[in-house]
């Protein structure tokens, strides 16, 4: 009886479930830039990685790495900055995930001036433009976490990302002084016929902090942004086929019989 009841409930749920979102993918983009510098920019290196497309969603990865070194007397100081961005989409463009990672490493900082890295010179890091063919809902979940697999990880400066919808920030995960992890979830209404652009924008910069380095041990930081999203159309009121109606009636009758039997057993107990 339990198996039949579960099957009947599943059939009822299938009838009532909303179909996938009705939308038209327009374009997508992943891009980022790193900039490493020593002595306030006297020695610097920049690198850019980007990928874009139009039409059907595609999985693309962007990677970038910058390194700057400076010598003084017998000492050599260095800073390394790197980042990666990866966007994944369902074939219909109605759902996906985004993973963004930024990291830095400084070495031998004690006898040198300002050293650091910035990651916010090329924004947005990820974007997706689509047209909502019918009214719907955008569901977004995200978190920013420090990568604890990095020995001595210091997330200083890697302050997070903002989610923007048509250029307006709707989820703010940027908090230079806040602890990690940080999470940001939200549901946003979509109007049929309107074009929307989702964007992830970051403001990471590790300049402006002095690191002691008496033992010439490198300082490291790495942070990951992990995001998931889905676009659903407004729930409709589907008209079931005759065969489906019959299955629903059998399912409801089975559930009712089970509940009545359970009440009689409880009354006798």
Can you give the residue ranges of every domain in the chain? 2-13+239-268, 20-233
55 vs 252, higher pLDDT = 55
What is residue 230's predicted lDDT score, i.e. its pLDDT?
94
Q: Summarize pLDDT for 20-35 with one digit per residue, the tens.
A: 568 999 999 999 999 9
| CA dist., res. 248 & res. 268, Å (int) | 30
- Displacement of CA 115 from its chain's centroid (Å): 29
| CA dist., res. 137 & res. 135, Å (int) | 7
Q: Summarize pLDDT for 184-229 with one digit per residue, the tens.
A: 999 999 999 999 999 999 888 887 665 665 555 678 889 999 999 9
Q: Mean of the pLDDT values across residues 72-91? A: 87
Question: Could you tell me the pLDDT band of residue 101, with boundaries at 50, 70 and 90?
Answer: very high
Contacts of 17 (CB under 8 A, 6+ apart): none
| CA dist., res. 257 & res. 269, Å (int) | 19
Question: Could you tell me the pLDDT band of residue 60, with boundaries at 50, 70 and 90?
Answer: confident
| CA dist., res. 154 & res. 219, Å (int) | 7
């Amino acid at each position: 009886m339990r198996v039949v009841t579960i099957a009947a409930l599943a059939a009822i749920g299938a009838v009532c479930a909303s179909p996938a979102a009705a939308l038209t993918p327009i374009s997508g983009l992943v891009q980022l830039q790193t900039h490493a510098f020593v002595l306030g920019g006297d020695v610097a290196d920049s690198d850019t990685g980007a990928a874009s497309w139009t039409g059907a969603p595609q999985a693309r990865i962007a990677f970038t790495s910058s390194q700057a070194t400076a010598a003084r007397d017998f000492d050599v100081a260095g800073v390394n900055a790197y980042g990666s961005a990866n966007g994944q989409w369902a074939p219909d463009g109605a759902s996906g995930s985004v993973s963004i990672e930024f990291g830095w490493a400084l070495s031998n900082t004690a006898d040198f001036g300002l050293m650091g890295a910035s990651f916010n010179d090329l924004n947005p890091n990820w974007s997706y433009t689509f047209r909502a063919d019918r009214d719907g809902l955008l569901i977004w979940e995200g978190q920013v976490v420090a990568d604890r697999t990095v020995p001595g990880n210091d997330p200083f400066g890697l302050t997070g990302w903002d989610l923007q919808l048509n250029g307006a920030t709707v989820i703010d995960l940027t908090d230079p002084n806040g602890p990690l992890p940080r999470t940001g979830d939200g549901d946003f209404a979509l109007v049929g016929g309107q074009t929307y652009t989702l964007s992830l924008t970051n403001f990471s910069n590790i300049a402006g902090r002095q690191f002691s380095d008496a033992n010439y041990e490198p300082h490291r930081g790495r942070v990951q942004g992990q995001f998931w999203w889905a676009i659903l159309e407004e729930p409709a009121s589907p008209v079931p086929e005759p065969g489906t109606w019959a299955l629903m009636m059998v399912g409801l009758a089975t559930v009712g019989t089970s509940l009545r039997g359970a009440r009689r057993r409880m009354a006798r107990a």
